[in-house]
Amino acid sequence: MLHNLTRGARRALLAALVPFCCLAPGLAASQGAFPTKAIRLVVPFAPGGVADTSARLIAEQLTKRLNQQVYVENKAGASGNIGSGFVANAEPDGYTLLLGFDGTLAINPHIFEKIPFDSVKDFAPVGKIGDAALILVANPELPAKTLQQVLELSRQREGGLGYGSSGVGGTPHIGGELINQSTGSKLMHIPYKGGGQALIDVQGGAIPLVFTAVAGAYPFVKSGRVVAIGVASAKRVESLPDVPTFIEGGLPDFVLYSWVGILAPAKTPKPVIDVLNQALNAALVDPDVVARLDKLGITATPGTPAQYAEQIKRDLDRYGPVVKAARIKLDE
């Protein structure tokens, strides 16, 4: 087609194409200057666990697609507040990002008197990574095998029926309170420092119930060490197709996920956010990445920054009244 152009037109066209030909291949090539150096992805929790593992998987995938190293840096403390506050105050240039977690961004603002960030004003969402389904499991000796039986037993027993979770203010804790407030049940929270020990204790009969992520409970359910009561997802999870949803168990519209995503500091330029979002979404439709996330109990959810921002606002509004009614408070 070039031979059909005048000599001047050919020169103008080639001059316009030179900058693009000189760029490195891959996503970054189509986006100009960003990124030109390594990107730090801050995980506001200690190494290990689903949030940290998912962050490392996504960092690996972003590295491939951005042609720059994306590395994970753990900044744990105060239920995720320290690391999140660090990113909120970082330079808004796209080179410091946050692994966002619903407990930190949508629940912590309601349970801490002071918090070093504003979940809406201090961050520019890049995109959600995915949703982690939650499951309620019971000790096999518990004389209740369905959700309605569990709720009725909690009303009948003096002192209610205890359920373990990964800690105060986590999504499973809030989920139990949400069930109580919507059904009049008496599920009594028993906080643990992580879901692993809670699962061991429910298996051994020290506690009757645990509300936790499907990924952690899966081997216990499959081996018969605990009984699955229900999943709080919109539909049955593929890894446990015989376990009914809470909706099927008689709680209309009860859907509760724990989610993870990526955010940048507020005022990060939109073109930078767009580059990061495009790279993230490309990873989240990769069959290998989808499968690896699924093993962590996370369903990949590619989408726009605006969709992720709306999710954060929606969950902030949803959890606020629940926390207030349950009088859940923590000090830094």
- Summarize pLDDT for 159-191 with one digit per residue, the tens: 999 999 988 888 999 999 999 999 999 999 999
User: Tens of pLDDT along 190-215?
Assistant: 998 877 889 999 999 999 999 999 98
Write down the pLDDT at residue 134: 94
CB 126 within 8 A of CB 263: yes
Contact 56, 72 (CB under 8 A): yes
List the chain domain ranges: 10-131+259-326, 133-231
The pTM assigned to this predicted structure is 0.83
The pLDDT value recorded for residue 193 is 80
**CATH topology match: 10-131+259-326 vs 133-231:** yes
Helices marked H in 30-80 — which ranges? 49-66
pLDDT at 332: 54
Amino acid 297: pLDDT: 84
Domain 133-231 has CATH 3.40.190.10: yes
| CA gap 158, 154 in Å, rounded | 8
Instruction: Please state, rounded to an integer, the average pLDDT across all residues of the chain.
Output: 89
Contact 280, 129 (CB under 8 A): yes
CATH class of 10-131+259-326: alpha beta
Torsion sign, CA atoms 116, 121, 124, 125: positive
Task: Give the residues of the chain that fall short of pLDDT 70.
Answer: 1-32, 331-332
The DSSP symbol for 34 reads -
The per-residue pLDDT for 36 is 97
Tens digit of each residue's pLDDT (9 = 90 or more) over 119-138: 999 999 999 999 999 999 99
Predicted pLDDT at 47 = 87
